[in-house]
Structure 1
Amino acid sequence: MTSHFHRSWRGLTASLMLIASGTSAVAEPQHGIAMYGDPALPPDFVSLPYANANAPTGGHIVTAEVGSFDSLNPFIRKGSVPWQLRFFMGESFMGRSLDEPFSLYGVLAESVETGPNREWVEFTLREGTAFSDGSPLTIEDVMWSYETLGTIGHPRYLGFWSKVESMEQTGDRSVRFTFNVEDRELALLAGMRPILKKAQWEGVDFAESTTDIVPITSAPYIIDDFEPGRFVSLKRNPDYWGADVPFRVGTNNIDEVRLEFFGDETAAFEAFKVGEVNSNREFNVARWDTWYNFPAVQNGDVIKSVLGHERPSGMTGFAMNTRKAIFADWRVRDAMLHAFNFEFINQALTGSVQPRITSYWSNSPLSMSHGPAEGRVREFLEPFADELIPGTLEGYSLPVADGSERNRAGTRAALDQMEAAGWTVQDGVMKNEAGEDFTFDILLDQGATENQTIIDMYVESLSRIGVTPTVTVADSAQFKERTDAYQFDMVYYRRGVSLSPGNEQFNYFGSEDADQTGGRNLMGVKSPAVDAMIGRLLTSDSQDDFVAAVKALDRSLTAGRYVIPIYQWNISRIAHSKNLHFPDAMPIFGDWPGWQPDVWWYSED
């Protein structure tokens, strides 16, 4: 087994101090921009510190994806799209370094300039930028892309556009965005919008495109071939305009990136075993220890790499839809958490070696403490004391069972909370005073066999409190359609968070986005305290306030009991062909979009 670990927590703390130490930007053109202070890399940097500037080009990487797809346009709401495509196809003014909490460096942009308080930002295009078909990329394309994505694009783009007061061309290769709110992050977000070719969409309904039209971009990879629901093949563009841009040096080395789609995890793993797939992430430590002993591993053709990272756990588990009356009461949600026998499930599926997520920012210095709120965290939260869910100020930790199958203490606590919420067991069935049964539907994505196993065990636990939920397994398209419309009671949920949380938190947890079709606030969180904490972290001008605001947000969400958390992955496990290589220097974000396959290379020697 190959192990790769990297810098200590002291290094990460220093990075956090860097992003939260400055209060204003220098109003002159720069090669990069950071949320606070200056970016770490100098203007004359050669390549990203975790990229191999001398990496060879060639070869292929093939990954297994469970599910299907019916669209190749990752920039709109409609359709089920392979999640990787927006990273492969979405080239923008700036690119994000995975070795800094929030720093961007020029890609399409030759330079970036901001107002003294970041009330505006201006980008200047590099000379020679071009789309994959060889046509020049212009400011006209830029302005069309921003307005189109901001009005009819995917919801992830709408929030930024609503905060733009004006967009104006200021030169042959430059454009300026002026903002209508005080928000330091907007200058960075402006640099991360994908640029599309305006002429491609003349006379075409952009918002309705599926697999009938593949967006033309300036990115290093081009969709070369595909079969709906079966595979997508992306080829490295040999005429890519930006190969010598420092941010790109040592990246995009592999000639073909191929996404193969399978109906379930078993079929996907079998394809890896026989060599049809040559890189596979494993999220279950028990499988990692027992399944990866097939001949290719034994003879060294497949390598097992264990990779450290310093990013927060995020939240993975089963979200309860608070838009539905059945989960509107926090006591009911608390009961569901007590009934979920994590310790027993963890023992059965991983041998108890996989740690549980304890909050949204666990595994990071931004994580909440579990005792009473203190200092600035308490100060920020106290104005909302009357409406905070119990535990937010007093202290909250997830229930811990004794590991036995029956989980008597958890069952008792669940019954007590249900009774407090007006539900009691009558003739073996949980009912309210009107005699209505307590039941709900759990929505799962087809092929996610481990999630189905977890839910099977959970359903058995719920039967002990007189609750019999239904479980609906939907294909990828139906799953997306239902989650976009919030047509579920409980659903599998995964939300990554970063060391530099910003405006995306409104998309994830903000009240205004809670009922927006296709939004990302699946739980339907509508909390003035949550909204206020997001606002604070966006306007903080000191390290202490920034960290305190995130910790207070973490408390509000965790004590809100919106999600039943499962495992956290503090390391990544990737089994891959011996011909696939990556640099020894790991970024603080570790295995994250922008790392594989971006800085990997293929070599048979």
Structure 2
Amino acid sequence: MAKGFFSIARHTCTGFLLFCIGSALSADPQQGIAMYGDPALPQDFVSLPYANPDAPKGGRIVMGEVGSFDSINPHILKGTVPWQLASLGYESLMGRSWDEPFTLYGLLAESIEVGPNREWAEFTLRPEAAFSDGSPVTIEDVMWSYTTLGTKGHPRYAGTWSMVKTMEQTGPRSVRFTFNVEDRELALIIGMRPILKKAQWEGRDFAASGIDMIPIGTSPYVIDSFEAGRYVSLKRNPDYWGRDLPFMAGQANLDEIRMEFYGDSQVMFEAFKAGQLNSLRENNAEKWDRQYNFPAVERGDVVKSVIPHQRPSGMTGFVMNTRRDVFKDWRVRDAMIHAFNFEFINETMTGGRQPRITSYFSNSVLGMDAGPATGRVAELLAPYSDQLLPGAMEGYSLPVGDGSLRNRANLHKAMDLMEQAGWRIEQGRMVSGDGRPFAFNILLPQGMTEEQSVIDLYIRALERMGITPTVTTIDPAQFQERTNQYDFDMTYYRRGLSLSPGNEQKLYWGAQGVTEPGSRNLMGMNSPAAEGLIDVLLNARDRDDFVAATKALDRVLTTGRYVIPIYQWNVSRIAHVKELKFPDRLPIYGDWSGWHPDVWWYED
């Protein structure tokens, strides 16, 4: 979208007259906005319900990450960035409460106003809003940030930007976005873009930046020091502009947030045991039960906290790239799922302690129901009945093995599916009709020792089918580049999903991602049914229709057989020193971005 496409209304009498006329037809400015209904918190709320406004300030948290990084700019496609920087280092016009499915409250903006049908959204900046260098945040900074992110930033910003018809200044501290599509979520999404300082980027190529410059934001934390690939340290800004906001009460309590990077998970675990880290998430339930009994735990110096949540399982497993001929046929993908001996792998890796993901939205009210589609879900799927894969309408569940190493029944079914797809066994090898071997590569980033072990077990089963895939392990930066370009056959995949799926679903599953690099559509799915259902959930006027559309979408995604699902994490397991505390009141999203370490504190 060209910059010249956007108009900036000048501070003239005509502009303010138009603004006043428009305001008369809209809702009054509000402190917050919810996707459905009204925000849960009153106008005079003291803090977010899961934050402790009396939490002391001070101390530090040191967390571990497996992998590396070669950039500290989380807003562009180039480079690998510590994932926490996007949320810890920057703020947006509105901030999200993780105790509601999708509700925003004013952060840099003191209010939001929307049109009768949310066809536009207008934000008014707080007069005290400032960057970490003390300079004020202006409407010019806001408009530059949206234009730059939408045209030069990471592709995740482009989708929303393409749905903005105009962006105009409507007052000394106000900006209005008018949308070119009917999409009620856009009024919320548009308020969640990071705001950067325009002056810092004059004469610089925004898309080419990496570690040569630290982008200036407005958040409570600034990058104090870092060493590419080794660590990054953020320090709390004592002059943070928003420290007295109710939304920030009980947040940003720690003086330092530090991320240390390690070559693999076992080395990271040993570093935690040695006291080099003071907080560590553990994804393996068996390891949690059997290996977290070292002296610091027994003395009570390290605490094991289990954090429940109500959010969807999302999808974790091994994704098949349908852009490659080897995985275009759904029957081949189904065969790969049948060959994956989950029950045996789960017993081997976790002692059978972790349940399997059963669908993309499992573990939540948005997950597809067992059995045939009924009611509104069936109505929404009906227009696409000739495109849907088996199971979408009549019901689908993942194959279940007998728990043994041989997994005979499922391997027999896998062989039948491969035969239906035109493959056969010849001299012990799976080949096509013209004798071409069935071959594919599994791409993994270095350091994923547990995932590598899972793949080793999987390959043993595939070998019994006459299939021997190759495994390529590369450094995280190369892995990021290759997955951005969809240069893989099969790879590790993890996609978190919220209780309020919206426009990001197009980035995850939309047809544009089949060819556009940098999307989250790693499987390369091109499904009119998925896109149509996403449109329905985006424009649902009530929660019942929204839930039905999501359940229908879950059926399309799951029966697409794009991913071999592994475990779900229906709780989070965090080991931490006893001095690190968090409130007893947990948000419905549990351990999610915006909770750890945002509302934690250090107490001697």
Question: Considering the TM-score relative to the shorter chain, is it more than 0.5?
Answer: yes
**Is the partner of 2:541 in helix, strand or coil?**
coil
Contact 2:317/2:492 (8 A) holds in 1: yes
| Structure 1 residue 214: Cα displacement | 0.7
Give the whole-Å Cα distance in 2 for the aligned partners of 1:77 and 1:481.
9
Any residues of structure 2 matched to 1:262-273 within 5 Å, and which? 262-273=262-273
Code of the aligned partner of 2:194: P
Give the whole-Å Cα distance in 1 for the aligned partners of 2:498 and 2:388.
25
Give the whole-Å Cα distance in 1 for the aligned partners of 2:413 and 2:190.
48
Task: Give deviations 1:205-245, integer Å, cap 9, x for gaps.
Answer: 00000000110001110000000000000000000000011
Task: Give deviations 1:55-84, integer Å, cap 9, x for gaps.
Answer: 000000000100000000000010000111
Task: Give deviations 1:270-313, integer Å, cap 9, x for gaps.
Answer: 11001000000001000001110111001011000111111010
| Structure 1 residue aligned with 2:176 | 176
| Structure 2 residue aligned with 1:161 | 161
Contact 2:36/2:542 (8 A) holds in 1: no
Unaligned runs of 5+ in 2: 1-24
| Structure 1 residue aligned with 2:6 | none
1:45 aligns with 2:67: no
Give the whole-Å Cα distance in 1 for the aligned partners of 2:50 and 2:386.
48
Any residues of structure 2 matched to 1:436-585 within 5 Å, and which? 436-585=436-585
| Structure 1 residue aligned with 2:3 | none
**Is the partner of 1:261 in helix, strand or coil?**
strand
**Is the partner of 1:387 in helix, strand or coil?**
coil
Contact 2:150/2:157 (8 A) holds in 1: yes
**Is the partner of 1:95 in helix, strand or coil?**
strand
| Structure 2 residue aligned with 1:276 | 276
Any residues of structure 2 matched to 1:200-211 within 5 Å, and which? 200-211=200-211
Task: Give deviations 1:551-579, integer Å, cap 9, x for gaps.
Answer: 00000000010000000011111000001
| Structure 1 residue aligned with 2:257 | 257
Code of the aligned partner of 2:545: D
Give the whole-Å Cα distance in 2 for the aligned partners of 1:542 and 1:421.
43
1:88 aligns with 2:82: no
Give the whole-Å Cα distance in 2 for the aligned partners of 1:221 and 1:213.
16
The runs of at least 4 aligned residues of structure 1 exceeding 3 Å deviation read none
| Structure 1 residue 543: Cα displacement | 2.3
Give the whole-Å Cα distance in 2 for the aligned partners of 1:492 and 1:35.
32
| Structure 1 residue 363: Cα displacement | 0.4
1:421 aligns with 2:415: no
| Structure 1 residue 26: Cα displacement | 6.3
Give the whole-Å Cα distance in 2 for the aligned partners of 1:513 and 1:421.
26
Give the whole-Å Cα distance in 1 for the aligned partners of 2:182 and 2:158.
17
**Is the partner of 1:472 in helix, strand or coil?**
strand
| Structure 1 residue 344: Cα displacement | 0.2
Give the whole-Å Cα distance in 1 for the aligned partners of 2:531 and 2:559.
15
1:105 aligns with 2:105: yes
Relative to the length of structure 2, the TM-score reads 0.95
Give the whole-Å Cα distance in 2 for the aligned partners of 1:486 and 1:474.
15
Give the whole-Å Cα distance in 1 for the aligned partners of 2:419 and 2:163.
46
| Structure 2 residue aligned with 1:36 | 36
**Is the partner of 1:466 in helix, strand or coil?**
coil
| Structure 1 residue aligned with 2:139 | 139
Unaligned runs of 5+ in 1: 1-24
Contact 2:118/2:184 (8 A) holds in 1: yes
| Structure 2 residue aligned with 1:21 | none
Task: Give deviations 1:29-77, integer Å, cap 9, x for gaps.
Answer: 0000001111000111010000000000000000010000000000001
Give the whole-Å Cα distance in 2 for the aligned partners of 1:385 and 1:111.
44
Give the whole-Å Cα distance in 2 for the aligned partners of 1:457 and 1:515.
32
Any residues of structure 2 matched to 1:299-378 within 5 Å, and which? 299-378=299-378
Code of the aligned partner of 1:451: E
Identity value in percent: 67
Code of the aligned partner of 1:121: A
Give the whole-Å Cα distance in 2 for the aligned partners of 1:159 and 1:386.
29
Code of the aligned partner of 2:347: Q
Task: Give deviations 1:134-167, integer Å, cap 9, x for gaps.
Answer: 1111000000000000011011111110000000
Root mean square deviation, CA, Å: 0.8
| Structure 1 residue 370: Cα displacement | 2.5
Relative to the length of structure 1, the TM-score reads 0.95
Give the whole-Å Cα distance in 1 for the aligned partners of 2:215 and 2:169.
24
| Structure 1 residue 90: Cα displacement | 2.3
**Is the partner of 1:247 in helix, strand or coil?**
helix
**Is the partner of 1:531 in helix, strand or coil?**
helix
Give the whole-Å Cα distance in 1 for the aligned partners of 2:541 and 2:212.
47
**Is the partner of 2:587 in helix, strand or coil?**
coil
Give the whole-Å Cα distance in 1 for the aligned partners of 2:358 and 2:556.
13
Task: Give deviations 1:433-482, integer Å, cap 9, x for gaps.
Answer: 11000010001111010000000000001001100000011111010010
Give the whole-Å Cα distance in 1 for the aligned partners of 2:156 and 2:422.
39
